[in-house]
Amino acid sequence: MSELSLDPAHWLPHRPPFLLVDVMVSIEPGRRASGEWTLNGDEWFFPGHFPGRPITPGVLLLEAIAQCGAVAVLTDPKYTGRLPLFGGVESARFRRQVLPGDTVLLECEMTRLSARGGKGHGRASVEGQLAVEADLLFVIVDAT
């Protein structure tokens, strides 16, 4: 197999400011992926969440995990021309705040994957400390 691009924009249709993964760290097509998101403090959401005490919104951490999982799906040639979309979130637990200056390690492993959708278990951590963990459900649709 040829070398896979570690640029998430190569695999995902998302673009700034909604591309929430800076670089992929590892990819096992159709199985798992990990990536990093570094928050420099200039992100669009910090001024309003919360003024004087910027904290990364938990829903954006879930989206970042989902984007990482989408790379795991889309690198599998079976899903060329397809697009995974959120179908649900189960068992989400938020354990640590993510602040400006943090680099978040995003991990998502497919626990179920079919032609129509699947489920992935995801985690986001900072310096080895778990920030959020959840099961993400998704449907797979045609990209166009």
d(CA 9, CA 17): 12
Count up the domains in the chain and report the number.
1
pLDDT (tens digit, 0 to 9) for every residue of the chain, 144 residues total? 468 999 999 999 999 999 999 999 999 999 999 999 999 999 999 999 999 999 999 999 999 999 999 999 999 999 999 999 999 999 999 999 999 999 999 999 999 999 999 999 999 999 999 999 999 999 999 998
Distance CA 135, CA 144 (A): 27
List the catalytic residues: 49
Cis previous bond, 54, omega within 30: no
Whether 130 maps to a domain, the answer reads yes
In a domain, 85, yes or no: yes
Residue at 3 is within a domain: no
Q: Do 89 and 137 touch, CB atoms closer than 8 A? A: yes
Give the pTM. Answer: 0.97
CATH of the domain at 65: 3.10.129.10
Which residue, 85, 93, 106, is CA-closest to 27? 106
Q: Is residue 1 part of a domain?
A: no
